[in-house]
Amino acid sequence: MRAQVVIIGGGPAGLLLGQLLHRDGIEAVVLELRTRDYVLSRIRAGVLEWGAVETLDAAGVGARMHAEGLPHEGVYLAAQNRGFRIDFEARVGRRVMVYGQTEITADLYAARDAAGAVTIHEAEGVTPHGLDTDAPYVTYTKDGTEHRIDCDFVAGCDGFHGVSRTCIPKSVLRAFERVYPFGWLGVLSDTPPVSDELIYANHERGFALCSMRTKTRSRYYVQVPLSDKVGAWSDQAFWDELRRRIPEDSAARLVTGPSIEKSIAPLRSFVAEPMRWGRLFLAGDAAHIVPPTGAKGLNLAVGDVRYLHEALLAHYSDGDDTGIEGYSDRALARVWKAERFSWSMTMMLHRFPDQSPFEQRMQETELAYLESSVAAQTAMAENYTGLPF
């Protein structure tokens, strides 16, 4: 088999890149280790920068998002059970869209099916070859038979644990990482959200987040030690702890119910440089991880895909390799700004194991400054709704 681009990873980054390339007549094959059902079962974030919304529109998969998604024009922050709102529209004239990553993936699958594009699931042992030559290829095993796809380029969209990043020589690859000493215990419930917009809460007991997937399905988080086990948290214990940490008026109107999913996610900041080596490009979690506090993970992946699509389109339509040569630097410039924002939100809102009363007061004072300063609110709104591409 031959394709112009082989995309490793059938999550939203890989599927979006495949969809954008298909619409421009560039043939791409997507290889995914898991089954489609497994990919669609993963519970992930769903706060989209408006630039990500526009990119999904450009890919032709925005109709259901606009029909069912929830546009948000602001966000609530809280300290010690009292909250305030930052108005994105008033500060920067933009908003965000709440639409689950699972739904985005389903929309992309549907578009790819309709186009008759090739997506190969349960592709095991995926291995790129010849990435530093003019004739790269990728091998994989399916149903016990080894297959080979010759190509021009390989896009590694296979996540933090995927094979793509490991193909860059250790003498070339440089990694930057911070692992945080806590996790997020998340609960999904078929209950109406406690707020019309997200609530990020700082409390001396730890961070909490009130989010949602739809008008009838809520997603809530509380900060917990990494040593905690999901089984040790009953639904009642979770709801009681959430009430302690969020604003009092929100706690009073919180509607609770049985959890339909419960998990603990660790937090880390991670960046790999460069994001291109030879004919290989990294995109999304294969190249970088952000703590979810800034709602940047999926949005950064969309940004990478947007840059990579532009670079490949220029190569095939105009013979212009400027975008290919500059892809890594261009993507990393935006990645590091999002890393900074996510890190700063994480530092401001979480309780650290060795945190002193002085540091707790500094966090509370930072939030008080945000509440009173138009300039600080504008900076946060600019970063949260998305820096320019």
Report the SS3 class of residue 233: coil
Using alpha carbons only, give the angle 131, 133, 138 rounded to the nearest 5 degrees.
Answer: 40
Tell me the residue type at 103. E
DSSP-assigned letter for residue 35:
-
Residue where the block lists tokens 């259901």: 64
- Burial code (b: 16+ CB inside 10 Å, e: under 16) for 122-150 equals ebeebebeebeeeebbbebeeeeeeeebe
Q: Do 193 and 215 meet the contact criterion of CB atoms below 8 Å apart? A: yes
Kindly tell me the number of DSSP H helices and DSSP E strands found in the chain.
Answer: 12, 20
- Cα–Cα dist 168/131, whole Å: 9
Please give the structure tokens belonging to residue 158. Answer: 């296979």
| Residues contacting 19, CB < 8 A, separation 6+ | 59, 60, 61, 108, 111, 112, 115, 117
- Cα–Cα dist 219/206, whole Å: 17
Tell me the residue type at 297. G
Which residues participate in catalysis according to the annotation?
72, 200, 292, 296, 384
The closest alpha carbon to 98, from 208, 215, 5, 268, belongs to 215
- Cα–Cα dist 256/233, whole Å: 15
Question: Which residues, in sequence order, are bridge partners of residue 150?
Answer: 2, 137
